[in-house]
Amino acid sequence: MSFSTALESLYPPARLLREPAQLAPYESDALTAFRSRPRAVVLPESSDEVIETVRLCHLHDVPFVARGSGTSLSGGSLPIADGIVIALNRLNRILRLDPDARIAVVEPGVVNLHVTHAAAPYGLYYAPDPSSQPICTIGGNVAFNSGGAHCLKYGMTANHVLGIKAVLPNGAVIELGGESLEPVGPDLTGFFVGSEGLFGIALEITLRLLPRPEQVRTVLASYHSLAAAGDAVAAVVASGLLPAALEIMDKLAIEAAEMSVNAGYPRGAAAVLIVELEGEAGSVDAEFARLQQVMEQTGADEVRLAEDDAARARIWKGRKGAFSAVGRLSPDYIVQDGVVPRSRLGETLARIDELSATYDIRVANVFHAGDGNLHPLILYDGRKPGELERAEELAGEILTLCIDAGGSITGEHGVGMEKRAYMPRMFTPVDLDVMRELRWAVDPDELANRGKMLPGDSPEGSSASRHPHPLERQGIISRV
């Protein structure tokens, strides 16, 4: 039986998409500069259908890409031309929510924010909160180890995933971790989280839930320069405070947010710093008093305290809507994602300003300042010849700047297609060889999300038998 015939026997016509108009929405993710049309898109409605599809792909040597809502900003869910897309949005059930154990077991297509909605009646919530949380799915969050505005205090997705049931690229089903906060043996769950789909597809994810904080205080401070706001972040952290969130938006991002949602940010500010404290009431009051002292010392032009939940929501609506709001300022933009040490935030932001002037391309800065995770938005007009290429060159300069500062090429968006070429700048050849060996150990035929993350991997892929071992390439060993 051919692969196409096997798919037809597994999926009804309404859930097996092959016509050009049906495939068009799946040709790219949120990084629209990359496009590729898959052979087909399947819409499974159960874990069993996902498992059977992966087994068919393994049997027929067909590469596959798992996809949720397609919000990846690195080309991580870009289709493979001769492969299929396994769209997981219909696997959207919260299978179990245990308020006593503070866990939720969910399918990969569950939307991030829906977990918090389900947990809210029990005074619980799910902490990772990427800006796309109203639409991004838990499966994608797991693949890219997503963070969010509150990752400074609460960590990334990896810190909130206790267990995973997954199907490997050969069709085998495995269970990693469990429900305990104290796992036994190697952290294979952590190994899977952030692997960008190279190790298979998560079918069920056990999430850790947290109790809602007793008190929350949100402060908005404005500064005369972006560098001054960056230096203020370093001062807040050096003071010993651990805010739940430390976020910065520059003048362009503020302008976009005001046009989009009228967030009420200070007019004329070169940058705003959002600081959020949360926890037990007594602790938050003491931290707030200390924060006020730090804000005065950093030369803030204005400091505002959100007086109620509505004011707090307004501040965050502007911040979390900033990426989409920038579309009001430019027909096209690249969202970059790099990390620098907090102590070098000020100088790095100043250098980005210089690069923006050199390339004559506007850059709006919106980022998780607390952990040095930059999200410069590079504004360009793709209708103008050569402008996309110049924007990509500027994006590369920013990544190089992050590496040279002792940081990383990605904080939470992943490597995907976009940053593969920069992996050798950050990792040694031995580092990359180890990564490839791990990849081939799990997926020797490179069927799962082929061509992503690792430099040199081609969409055509190859069998493990054709992959020379790193020591073999160096002439140290030979294979029989």
Residue 422: count other Cβ atoms within 10 Å of its Cβ. 21
Q: What DSSP designation does 382 have?
A: T
What per-residue string of b and e applies to 154-187 under the rule 16 or more CB within 10 Å gives b?
A: bbbbbebbbbbbbbbbbbebeebbeeeeebeeee
Q: What residues contact 422, with CB distance under 8 A and at least 6 apart?
A: 396, 399, 400, 403, 409
As a whole number of angstroms, the distance between CA 223 and CA 229 comes to 6
pLDDT at 472: 40
As a whole number of angstroms, the distance between CA 394 and CA 400 comes to 10
pLDDT at 327: 85
Q: What residues contact 73, with CB distance under 8 A and at least 6 apart?
A: 29, 30, 31, 335, 337, 413, 418
Q: Is 338 in contact with 410 (CB distance < 8 Å)?
A: yes
pTM for the predicted model, two decimal places: 0.91
pLDDT at 473: 43
Report CA-CA distances (Å) from 346 to 117, 293, 340: 37, 20, 10
Q: Tell me the sheet residues that pair with 67.
A: 87
pLDDT at 461: 43
Q: What DSSP designation does 180 have?
A: -
Q: One digit per residue, pLDDT tens: the chain, 480 residues?
A: 899 999 999 999 999 999 999 999 999 998 888 899 999 999 999 999 999 999 999 999 999 999 999 999 999 999 999 999 999 999 999 999 999 999 999 999 999 999 999 999 999 999 999 989 999 999 999 999 999 999 999 999 999 999 999 999 999 999 999 998 888 889 999 999 999 999 999 999 999 999 999 999 999 999 998 888 988 998 998 999 999 999 999 999 999 988 888 888 998 899 999 999 999 999 999 999 999 999 889 989 999 999 999 999 999 998 988 888 888 899 999 989 999 998 888 888 889 989 999 999 999 998 888 888 999 999 999 899 999 999 999 999 999 999 999 999 999 999 999 999 999 999 999 999 999 999 999 999 999 999 999 997 555 444 333 444 343 444 433 333
As a whole number of angstroms, the distance between CA 307 and CA 261 comes to 19
Q: What residues contact 15, with CB distance under 8 A and at least 6 apart?
A: 42, 43, 44, 45
pLDDT at 260: 84
pLDDT at 476: 35
Report CA-CA distances (Å) from 22 to 39, 41, 132: 11, 8, 24
pLDDT at 130: 92
Domain boundaries, the chain: 1-212, 213-327, 330-423
As a whole number of angstroms, the distance between CA 245 and CA 225 comes to 20
pLDDT at 392: 92
213-327 and 330-423, same CATH topology: yes
Q: Is 83 in contact with 63 (CB distance < 8 Å)?
A: yes
Q: Going by CATH, does the domain composed of 330-423 fall within 3.30.70.2740?
A: yes
pLDDT at 8: 96
**Beta strand segments in 257-340, E:** 271-279, 302-305, 332-335, 338-339
pLDDT at 62: 98
And the tokens for 480? 């029989």
Domain 1-212 architecture: 2-Layer Sandwich (3.30)
And the tokens for 401? 């700047």
Side-chain half-sphere exposure of 197, counting CA atoms within 13 A: 34
As a whole number of angstroms, the distance between CA 321 and CA 253 comes to 10
pLDDT at 458: 55
pLDDT at 369: 87
CATH entry, 213-327, from 1.10.287.3510, 1.10.3720.10, 3.30.70.2190, 3.40.190.10: 3.30.70.2190
